[in-house]
Amino acid sequence: MKSITPRQLFVKSCDFVGGSGDPSVLKLPDLPEIAFVGRSNVGKSSLINALFNRKNLARTSRTPGRTQEINFFNLGGLALFVDLPGYGFASVPIKLKHAWQKDMTTYVTTRRGMRMLFVLVDARHGLKPIDFDLFNILHASATPFQVVLTKTDKISSDEVESRQLETQKSVEDHFTCAPEVLAVSAVKKTGLSALQMRIFHLVFPDLMIK
């Protein structure tokens, strides 16, 4: 493959491939896969749109209680990125909570190309018990994941730093969790290039950047 820079990767065309609770029903290309998940309203859609320089790539679903789909996008024929349904809506019936857990478990145990699941956490609120429920699924399935703090523009840089340290400590027992906690703001566009660089290296682990 010809050489590529991180900047070039993130301006590639990004096409919706399909969405379903069960990815096995979709015809998906065999590519390295990067996924994003987080509590509802964490800023996932805003972050995805900012990362890939698009306005409406990720569609927000504001309807709690509806079974949501796992949406797949093809980034220039080089990688798949995956928008997983948010969790933690206040008023979701238990049946849908179980459906979400089942879909997540199926997703992480069947997608062999999955390189990293980025778990988004609101920098103001930090980790909640429901995030640890997800970590247990990821731990049990040996799924690599990394925490990204969002909306960092809403708190001071000192608060961001202490939230990063506190979060790092909380995840250190999860052996598949990357030790570094990233911090971003989709509004101020801070931390995005570090996350893009991280994704670039996950997609092209052997590529040196000139």
Contact positions vs ligand GDP (CB under 6 A): 38, 40-46, 60, 86, 150-151, 153-154, 185-187
Of 80, 71, 78, 69, residue with least CA distance to 33? 80
14-20 vs 70-75, strand pairing mode: antiparallel
Complex with ligand GDP: residue 23 or 43, whichever CB lies closer: 43
Question: In the sheet that 70-75 helps form, which strands lie side by side, from edge to edge?
Answer: 14-20, 70-75, 79-83, 33-38, 114-122, 145-150, 182-183
Complex with ligand GDP: residue 44 or 198, whichever CB lies closer: 44
Q: Least separation, in Å, of the C-beta of 142 and ligand GDP?
A: 26
Complex with ligand GDP: residue 156 or 173, whichever CB lies closer: 156
Q: Least separation, in Å, of the C-beta of 39 and ligand GDP?
A: 7
The Cα–Cα gap between 101 and 186 comes to 27
Q: Least separation, in Å, of the C-beta of 49 and ligand GDP?
A: 8
The helix or strand, by DSSP H or E, that contains position 148, with its residue range, turns out to be strand 145-150
Complex with ligand GDP: residue 40 or 168, whichever CB lies closer: 40
Complex with ligand GDP: residue 151 or 198, whichever CB lies closer: 151
**Sequence-separated (6 or more) residues with CB below 8 Å from residue 48:** 36, 57, 58, 81, 83
Q: Least separation, in Å, of the C-beta of 55 and ligand GDP?
A: 12
The stretches of 141-174 forming alpha helices (DSSP H) are: 157-171
Q: Least separation, in Å, of the C-beta of 70 and ligand GDP?
A: 14
